[in-house]
Amino acid sequence: MDANQPKQEHLLALKVMRLTKPTLFTNIPVTCEERDLPGNLLNQLMKDDPSTVKGAETLMLGEMLTLPQNFGNIFLGETFSSYISVHNDSNQVVKDILVKADLQTSSQRLNLSASSAAVAELKSDCCIDDVIHHEVKEIGTHILVCAVSYTTQTGEKMYFRKFFKFQVLKPLDVKTKFYNAETDEVFLEAQIQNITTSPMFMEKVSLEPSIMYNVAELNTVNKAGESVSTFGSRTYLQPMDTRQYLYCLKPKQEFAEKAGVIKGVTVIGKLDIVWKTNLGERGRLQTSQLQRMAPGYGDVRLSLETIPDTVNLEEPFDITCKITNCSSERTMDLVLEMCNTNSIHWCGVSGRQLGKLHPSSSLHLALTLLSSVQGLQSVSGLRLMDTFLKRTYEYDDIAQVCVISSKVKEEH
């Protein structure tokens, strides 16, 4: 083939357009007072403008819609839609037309074509249309590769490709914090920030817990018997605004009884976030599995099951403790010692035998004590000794209780 021979023109033309929602038309109102030089001219021009709202001509938003003028931004979690059209610009009949659309990301190549079958023939001035959809699940550079192959009337096989490069941006910034309670509960605080340039309607923000936990959402308040969102009736998130969501996770009963299992848990669950933007365009994100650093309780864990909030000065009150052998291999023989502090005095015999406690098992213990000092007092002074290893475990500041005078309680 002669190198100087001009390159053969293709008989087919390929057009690719992104499908997005239109926007409301905006204009800049120009007005003046009647005593000014233009008089009522500018006001009349605005009233005659078909794009303005009748009776509210000075509003920037109009009643008309504007088709997208550029490719726009694509955000992670949104659905990318595109219209592909192959048109026969020639006066010949073209045969065996195959249109293929692939999306190349940084980690994979996806076939987006609705059909892989070839079209038998395409007459002059006719076209083949296709609409492709893809939920964007990666950020960074994406390349839409559209390839067209066909056969001319002379039997020559032709092929060409076009590349369309675009960036996928991150719409939300999600930060999480964990708080471990003494009762095996885990509190999750999720901070969600809108890092796009337009407002978002937050349709749903939920936590899907792991198999070991039940979850309770703490983002509503009860008003007149109805659950009302703490964010109000309009759950819009403005650009660069941050909203905090709170969840409480409780271990399921079958796992709560196995201290060794709960101790090693690091996977909590994942957040499911759904939002809507301009004219109802929907986006959805799911975080990866959220992990926390499981608290270390050592060999023996002592936690409070029940304790009163307020008690009377120098009057005995009861508490219930739960003692758990966190070891997965070793049986313990425990002795309980109760040491008085400046304000807390234990009632009962110190040094009593609790018996053997097998691995990953628990026992409940009812204790009685009183306080000789008013105010907020810390419950301290419990000691557990393992007679097998001659090891002592100390438990101070287990909980706090408010101590008041009995006279104050009578007055109320």
- Going by pLDDT thresholds of 50, 70 and 90, the confidence category of residue 3 is very low
- The torsion angles phi and psi of 44, rounded to 5 degrees, stand at -70, -40
Higher pLDDT, 198 or 2: 198
Question: What are the beta bridge partners of residue 28?
Answer: none
Of the pLDDT bands very low, low, confident and very high (cuts 50, 70, 90), residue 411 is low
Task: Average the pLDDT over 321-325 and give the result.
Answer: 87
With cut-offs at 50, 70 and 90, classify the pLDDT of residue 324: confident
What confidence category does residue 5 fall into, taking pLDDT thresholds of 50, 70 and 90? Answer: very low
Confidence at residue 373, expressed as pLDDT on a 0 to 100 scale: 92
How big, in percent rounded to 5, are the helix, strand and coil portions of the chain? 5, 55, 40
Q: Check whether 37 has a pLDDT greater than 90.
A: no
> For residues 83 and 67, what is the distance between their CA atoms, to the nearest angstrom?
14
Residues in contact with 109: Cβ distance below 8 Å, sequence separation at least 6, in sequence order: 102, 103
For the entire predicted model, the pTM comes to 0.67
Residue 122 has pLDDT above 50, yes or no: yes
Indicate the range of 19-33, 268-282, 356-370 predicted with least confidence: 19-33
User: Considering only CA atoms, which of 203, 169, 193, 194 is closest in space to residue 273?
Assistant: 203
Element (H, E) at 190: strand 186-194
**């000014």: which residue's tokens?**
36
Between 41 and 10, residue with greater pLDDT: 10
Q: Rounded mean pLDDT of 322-327? A: 84
Is 39 or 199 the better-scoring residue by pLDDT? 199
Over residues 289-314, mean pLDDT: 83
Residue 1: is its pLDDT beyond 50?
Answer: no
Given this model, what pLDDT does residue 6 score? 47
